[in-house]
Chains A and B, each alone.
Chain A
Amino acid sequence: MTMRVAKRRISKRGVVIAAAAMIAIAGPAFAATTNLVETGSSLLYPLFNLWVPAYTQSHPDVRINTASTGSGTGIAQSIEGIAQFGASDAYLSDMQMKKNPGMLNIPVAISSQMINYNVPGLNDKNLKLDGPVIAGMYDGQVRYWDDAQIKALNPGLPLPHKEIVPIHRADGSGDTFMFSQFLSFSDKAWQTKTGYGTSVSWPSVPSAIGATGNPGMVTAMKNSPYSIAYVGVSFKSETDKAGFGEALLKNRAGNFVKLDEKTVPAAAAAMVPKTPKDERISMIFAPGANSYPIINYEYVIVKNKQASPETAKVMRDFLTWAVSEKGGNSMSYLKQVNFLPLPASARALTMKQIAEIQ
Chain B
Amino acid sequence: MRHAGGPFRIFVALFAAVIPLSIGALIAFLFYNAWPAIHFNGWRFLTESSWNLGNQYGDAVTVRGAEVMPGASFGILFLIVGTLASSLIALLLAVPIGLGAAVFLAEAVPARLRQPASMLVELLASVPSVVFGLWGYVVLIPFASKHVYPVLAKVLGFIPFFAPPTRDGYGLLTASIVLALMVVPLITANMREAIMTTPRALREAGLATGATRFEVMRHIVLPRLRLPLVGVSTLALGRALGETMAVLMVSGNAINILPHRIYSSISTMAAFMVSQLDSALQDPSGMAVNSITEIGLILLLISMLVNGVARLLVSRISTL
Chain A interfacial positions (CB closer than 8 Å to B): 69-73, 75-76, 90, 93-96, 99, 163, 165, 170-173, 195-202, 204, 206-212, 219-220, 223-224, 227
Contact = CB atoms under 8 A, between A and B. Distances in A.
Given A195-B55, A201-B51, A209 B278 contact: no
Nearest to A227: B168
Given A170-B253, A209-B170, A211-B253, A201 B52 contact: yes
The 5 closest A-B pairs by CB, nearest first: A172-B279, A170-B253, A70-B278, A210-B253, A199-B279
B136 interface: no
B129 interface: no
A99 B59 CA distance: 12
Given A90-B282, A172-B277, 16 more contacts: A70-B278, A72-B278, A73-B278, A76-B281, A95-B60, A95-B69, A172-B278, A198-B56, A199-B279, A201-B51, A202-B256, A204-B257, A208-B265, A209-B252, A209-B265, A223-B141
Contacts of A70: 278-279
Interface string B136-179: 01000110010000000000000000000101111000000000
A94 B145 CA distance: 45
B167 A198 contact: no
Interface string B84-102: 0000000000000000000
Contacts of A223: 141-142, 145, 168-170
B115 interface: no
B168 A165 contact: yes
A154 to B, nearest CB: 24
Interface of B: 50-53, 55-60, 69, 71, 137, 141-142, 145, 165, 167-170, 248-249, 252-257, 260, 264-265, 267, 275-282, 284-285
B57 A94 contact: yes
Contact of A171 (B141, B252, B278): B278
9 contacts: A93-B56, A165-B167, A172-B279, A201-B52, A208-B257, A208-B265, A210-B255, A212-B275, A227-B168
A285 to B, nearest CB: 15
A108 B53 CA distance: 28
A96 B71 CA distance: 17
Contacts of A202: 255-256
A339 B158 CA distance: 52
Given A93-B56, A95-B60, A210-B255, A198 B282 contact: yes
A172 B282 contact: yes
B281 A212 contact: no
Main secondary structure, interface of A, reads loop
A69 B275 contact: no
Contact of B167 (A75, A99, A171, A224): A224
Given A93-B57, A202-B256, A204-B256, A72 B277 contact: yes
B277 A206 contact: no
Nearest to A163: B165
A142 B148 CA distance: 29
Nearest to B279: A172
Nearest to B51: A201
A198 B277 CA distance: 12
Which of B165, B167, B281, B282 is most buried by chain A, counting CB atoms within 10 A of its CB? B282
A95 B53 contact: no
A171 B282 CA distance: 12
A170 B170 CA distance: 13
Nearest to B259: A206
A198 B52 contact: no
Nearest to B249: A212
B256 A206 contact: no
A69 B282 CA distance: 13
A99 B145 CA distance: 48
Contact of A94 (B52, B59, B168, B285): B59
B253 A71 contact: no
Contacts of A204: 256-257
B279 A171 contact: yes
A38 to B, nearest CB: 16
B168 A172 contact: no
Which of B51, B53, B69, B253 is most buried by chain A, counting CB atoms within 10 A of its CB? B253
Contacts of A220: 168, 170
B248 A212 contact: yes
Contacts of B56: 93, 197-198
Given A201-B51, A206-B257, A223-B168, A95 B278 contact: no
Which of A70, A170, A209, A224 is most buried by chain B, counting CB atoms within 10 A of its CB? A170
A197 B54 CA distance: 9
A207 B248 CA distance: 18
A94 B59 CA distance: 8
Contacts of B137: 219
B76 to A, nearest CB: 13
A96 B282 CA distance: 8
Nearest to B167: A207
